[in-house]
Amino acid sequence: MHMETEVRVNVIKRSGEEVSFDAAKIVNAIRKANQEVDRIHRLSDYQIDAVAELIVKKVQSGTRAVGVEEIQDMVETGIMEMRGYEVAQKYVRYRYKREMARKSNTTDNGILALIDQMNEEVKQENSNKNPVINSTQRDYMAGEVSKDLTRRILLPEEIVRAHEEGIIHFHDSDYFAQREHNCDLINLEDMLQNGTVISETLIERPHSFYTACNVTTQIVAQVASNQYGGQSFSLAHLAPFVDVSRKKLRASVVEERSACQESMDDAIIDRITEMRLREEIKSGIQTIQYQLITLMTCNGQAPFVTMFMYLDEVPEGRTRDDLAMIIEEVLNQRMQGVKNEKGVWITPAFPKLIYVLDEDNITEGSKYWDLTCLAAKCTAKRMVPDYISAKVMKQLKQGNVYTCMGCRSFLTVEDSQRNPDGTNKFYGRFNQGVVTINLVDVACSADGDMDRFWSLLDERLELCHRALRCRHERLKGTVSDVAPILWQYGALARLKKGEKIDKLLYDGYSTISLGYAGLYEMCVRMLGKSHTDPQGKEFALSVMQRLNDKCREWKEAEHISYSVYGTPLESTTYKFAKCLQRRFGIIEGVTDKNYITNSYHVHVTEQINAFSKLKFEADFQKLSPGGAISYVEVPNMQNNIPAVLAVMQFIYDNIMYAELNTKSDYCEACGYDGEIEIVDDENGKLIWRCPNCGNTDQSRMSVARRTCGYIGTQFWNQGRTQEIRDRVLHMSVGTCG
């Protein structure tokens, strides 16, 4: 065969692996079918080559990777065009047999591909899971089985088809079969004050701050092994144990000094006590930070955990000052970082930190202003903490200030859920799961027709509704015994053994999330302009309002707390982009990237300053009550803390929840500690490279980037890597400096 068989366009195999297109495989497949028919009906070698050449031209003229199924369709059509009807029949029959063989056990290829590190989608679907280690692979293998059961048995065909085509995304199907849920807001106060049970062992109220920290890490690990999403706990629940230790330490100091006949001056005793207390706080926080980083749950990763730091969550006076001491120690330890295997201080991914900005810490001269300055330094060096504005949150959440369940999933304020003192209840509640609508697909399917868009949007939202109900129904009937730490021993409830969790799925105790993605690209396809344009913003907000209206409608009818959620697309950003390209081809500004935009965010390539971006996105956070977070991309700010503080003060006045994406990289090959860059290799694949020495070995570099609220440290698929490379800075080096 005298033709070029290698082309630059890739083929997407069924396993998710992308491989180079090879025309010789087409020739071989046709020849096999050709040998199955009588000689009189066979195609000539010339005809077979002609079919292959035609397909090569079609593939080369495209602008995207094509799927195996698409190529097989082209082969069938090509054979028919050569009047090889009998050969085409044999080819179709062979193709059908192969399809049936695959469906007899759909998990084999997926499992083998991930074990061999060949499945690009699976091995980098989570930027905090190392896909090489056994525990992660076991989790992924179990996930492949769960996905298979979910696709073939547990979900309606229309939901599966919509998910596979990228019309919607049914999140975390690798955990769906196990009846697990998404995110938690741990009721640590109840568990510490009233005791809990861990691995059938009674854990009573701690008698020191250090013990309380130790118990907290065990609770977090247990919770993480019984759900698949993020979880959060508040440092305010640890604060009362500082005084428990203070009293215990003081008694010990008095006893020691009395035995040694030393001065019993109260001032001296108090000073020694406080010194020892500081050391215990340091040890306790170190226990939390290091144990949470080094713990590995049953799904092969450190717990996706967030620590909440809100001074006004405890009474003013000694307890609040004690909480401030805890927060100070957390920030100092996080600024230091952790040592990697080479002994180099690096940025850890967990725990995520959230610091609340309020009247007593946001202005110079306020009581806890020094703590806020420390938080700014920590953010500049290690990307955390992130910031919640108590001022804005109270406006949006009926006077309440509380943490998200992980990176951005917020509980809704429910009048039906109250604490004994009448305040709104948040700790102990959870999220049932997420289904995301691909708004870009709605716009592309409508082909720019506005009436068609709204009609399709309603259809797709009802599809999401049915998928969300599948999540809800899957959790119904779950007995508390499957996860005692969650349902029986205080993390989420204190149900009896054998009791079902059903009552926790209704009336606001838990939420269930309608996610959305691609608001920017939706506007470009429908209006030809970004949602930062006034006309685009009006349209985008009206779409957001429709999502909220639907959630309200479903909630009133079913007493299930549906809420709109700004989806943190990680690997799904790549999946959606590839599906859009397959369905609609390349549309400039819409489908011409290997990613689509997270939720309502300003597109990563759009030039906009930090303050304008935060102000603009604040309007969209109001319409994402189920969860949202905004960010600004900044350069190295360690030498410009006033600029960081300026952003923090702007957050306080303008937006509920935001973060600064700084850079924190290290090259082990040469010791460079600046920003590792993303470049194209000779095959057009995006790789990471040290700008100082040229090192491209990922195992010899430490890279930390914010991808979905959490910091990722295990690198990313090609779509997310392209998105990271495309990000423009929202602040210059000299801003406010």
Active site residues: 182-183, 405, 407, 409, 431, 565, 570, 709
Buried b (16+ CB within 10 A) or exposed e, 345-359: bbbbbbbbbbbbbbe
Pairing of the two strands 184-185 and 231-234: parallel
Residue 604 tokens read as 């990563």
Asked if residue 576 lies in contact with residue 517, where contact means CB atoms within 8 angstroms, the answer is yes
What letter does residue 154 receive in the DSSP assignment? I
Residue 247 in tokens:
């009293």
- 422-426, long-range: CB < 8 A, 24+ apart: 424/398, 424/400, 426/185, 426/400, 426/402
DSSP string, 613-678: HHHHHHHHHTT-TTB--EEEE----TT-HHHHHHHHHHHHHH-SEEEEE----EETTT---SPPEE
% helix, strand, coil for the chain, step of 5: 50, 15, 35
Residues 672, 16: Cα–Cα separation, whole Å: 35
Show the tokens assigned to 185.
């807001």
Q: Quick check: 349 and 710 in contact, CB under 8 A?
A: yes
Interstrand relation of 201-203 and 196-198 (parallel, antiparallel or unpaired): antiparallel
Angle between helices 45-61 and 68-81 (to 10 degrees): 140
How many other C-beta atoms are found inside a 10 Å radius of the C-beta of residue 202? 9
- Which residue's structure tokens are 């109840």? 190
Helices (H), 82-126: 85-104, 108-115, 120-123
Name the E strands within 372-522: 386-389, 430-438, 510-517
CA distance 198 to 190: 14
Look at the block and give the residue holding tokens 């369940």: 405
Our separate counts of H helices and E strands in the chain read 24, 24
Positive or negative, the Cα torsion across 561, 563, 567, 572?
A: positive
Are 59 and 83 within 8 A, CB to CB? no
